[in-house]
């Protein structure tokens, strides 16, 4: 546990000293700010529902850039060798890395909290859907990040890690649209795997356990694959 936190803390700190992370955070704020303004002016509705759907697209692109470094760089620099020969369990490495990047995303999301604050000042938004919407965004982002961590553990090339993560995220993101054109058994499976279909209820203000379980399963599966990939790295090394 202490090890997990130490690794997470180191990871989070390294985000704050890296230019890339600041650039991503700045671009993220610029894009969400613009979207918030445009969506608000068009809908004239004191809700964040449309912003949440857009956030989901943004994370589709942003998450791979945040995760590509996590293990790929450690593998390239050889620091993974020190990590794996110290009294730290492989699980702790995986969880620490994940919590570190997740923490950074939480900071990014915290910075968007002034949008609802603005809505409260100038209108009377419904707090329920806003809270569940944020929960949905957080879960979805966590799933994208876990997938990115898994791809980052397979290679020492950060670009490869980012593209792999993006490809997998995109498949999960598009699978609902594809499912409409495919027959029932496969179609149903694709629909079940769709991140978007599981996300939508959250932005409508509904917390459905099946959606919660879906996201938690995706996160757990991706983290488990990361763990396996670290283990096989020992055998292949």
Partner 1 sequence: MIDVQDLTKDYGSRRAISGISFKVERGEVLGFLGPNGAGKTTTMRIITGFMPPTSGTVTIAGFDIFRQSMEARRHVGYLPESVPLYTEMSVRGYLDFMAKIKGVPRARRSEQIDRAMEATRVQDRAKQLIGKLSKGYRQRVGLSQALLGDPDVLILDEPTVGLDPRQITEVRDLIKEIGRDHAVILSTHILPEVSMVCSRVLIVDDGKEVAVDTPENLVRQLRGSEAVQVSVRGPRAGVMDAIRAVPHVLSVSLAGDEVSDGVASYTVATDPGADVREALAKALVDGGYGLLELRMAGVSLEDVFLRLTTEESDEDDEAGEEAA
- The answer to whether residue 10 forms part of the interface with partner 1 (CB under 8 A) is yes
The answer to whether 14 contacts partner 1 (rule: CB under 8 A) is yes
Helix axis angle, 209-236 relative to 127-152, nearest 10°? 20
Concatenating the DSSP letter of every residue in 209-220 gives HHHHHHHHHHHH
Residue among 87, 183, 184, 185 that touches partner 1 (CB under 8 A): 87
- Using CB under 8 A as the binding criterion, the count of chain residues that bind partner 1 stands at 25
Residue 228 in contact with partner 1, rule: CB under 8 A: no
DSSP 156: S
Nearest to 159 by CA among 169, 170, 148: 148
**234 belongs to the binding site for partner 1 (CB under 8 A):** yes
Rounded Cα distance between 28 and 63, Å, is: 11
For partner 1, give the closer residue by CB, 40 or 93: 93
Q: Taking CB under 8 A as the rule, does residue 232 contact partner 1?
A: no
83 part of the interface to partner 1, by CB under 8 A: yes
Residue 20 near partner 1 by CB under 8 A: no
Return the structure tokens found at 222. 């991706």
- Tally helices (H) and strands (E) across the chain: 12, 0
Interacting stretch for partner 1, rule CB under 8 A, among 79-87, 127-135, 163-171, 179-187? 79-87
What does the block give as tokens for 57?
A: 């697209």
Kindly list the residues in this chain that would bind partner 1 in the complex (CB under 8 A).
2-3, 6-7, 10, 13-14, 17-18, 77-89, 234-235, 237
């Amino acid at each position: 546990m202490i090890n997990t936190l130490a690794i997470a803390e180191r990871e989070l700190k390294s985000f704050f000293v890296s230019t890339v992370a600041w650039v991503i955070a700045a671009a993220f704020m610029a894009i969400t700010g613009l979207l918030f303004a445009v969506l608000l002016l068009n809908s004239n509705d004191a809700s964040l529902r449309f912003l949440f759907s857009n956030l989901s697209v943004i994370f589709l692109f942003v998450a791979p850039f945040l995760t590509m470094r996590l293990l790929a760089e450690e593998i390239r620099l050889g620091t993974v060798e020190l990590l794996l020969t110290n009294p730290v369990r492989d699980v702790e490495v995986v969880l620490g890395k994940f919590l570190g990047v997740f923490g950074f995303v939480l900071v990014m999301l915290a910075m968007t909290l002034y949008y609802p604050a603005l809505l409260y000042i100038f209108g009377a938004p419904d707090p329920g859907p806003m809270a569940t919407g944020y929960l949905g965004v957080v879960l979805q982002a966590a799933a994208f990040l876990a997938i990115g961590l898994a791809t980052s553990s397979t290679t020492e090339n950060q670009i490869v890690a980012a593209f792999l993560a993006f490809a997998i995220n995109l498949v999960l993101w598009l699978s609902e649209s594809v499912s409409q054109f495919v027959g029932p058994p496969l179609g149903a499976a694709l629909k079940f795997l769709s991140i978007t279909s599981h996300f939508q209820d959250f932005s409508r203000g509904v917390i459905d356990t099946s959606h919660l379980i879906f996201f938690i399963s995706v996160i757990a599966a991706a983290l488990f694959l990361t763990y396996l990939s670290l283990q096989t790295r020992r055998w292949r090394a």
